[in-house]
């Protein structure tokens, strides 16, 4: 029984002096890597949020471009029509030529 206790004591000393420091160091490395990963995820989330906002802004600008292009087209047609009306009035009045 005494011998068994001595063996257990010897085993426990080995665990405390040899094995535990290595395991603790490994756990510290894991913890540091976990913290780095969390920082990386947070950065990625913020970049993703910024990207989504910018993409939304671009979509809004494209939609506005479509509206403005159509407005420009309508105004050009009105301008052409007005120019034709003025020209036809001048011709009918005899002011041209």
pLDDT tens across 50-77, in order?
A: 999 999 999 999 999 999 999 999 999 9
Q: Average pLDDT of the chain?
A: 88
Whether residue 95 has pLDDT greater than 80: no
Nearest to 56 by CA among 64, 68, 45: 64
Instruction: For residues 68 and 35, give the distance between their C-alpha atoms in angstroms, rounded to a whole number.
Output: 49
pLDDT (tens digit, 9 = 90+) per residue, 21-58? 778 888 888 999 999 999 999 999 999 999 999 999 99
Element holding 42 (H helix, E strand): helix 20-93
Place of tokens 């159509």: 70
């Amino acid at each position: 029984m005494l011998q068994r206790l001595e063996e257990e004591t010897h085993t426990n000393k080995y665990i405390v002096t040899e094995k535990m420091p290595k395991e603790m160091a490994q756990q510290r490395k894991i913890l540091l890597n976990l913290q780095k990963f969390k920082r990386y995820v947070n950065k990625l989330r913020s970049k993703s949020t910024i990207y989504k906002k910018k993409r939304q802004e671009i979509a809004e600008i494209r939609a506005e471009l479509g509206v403005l292009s159509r407005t420009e087209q309508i105004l050009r047609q009105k301008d052409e029509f007005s120019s034709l009306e003025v020209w036809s009035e001048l011709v009918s009045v005899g002011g041209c030529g």
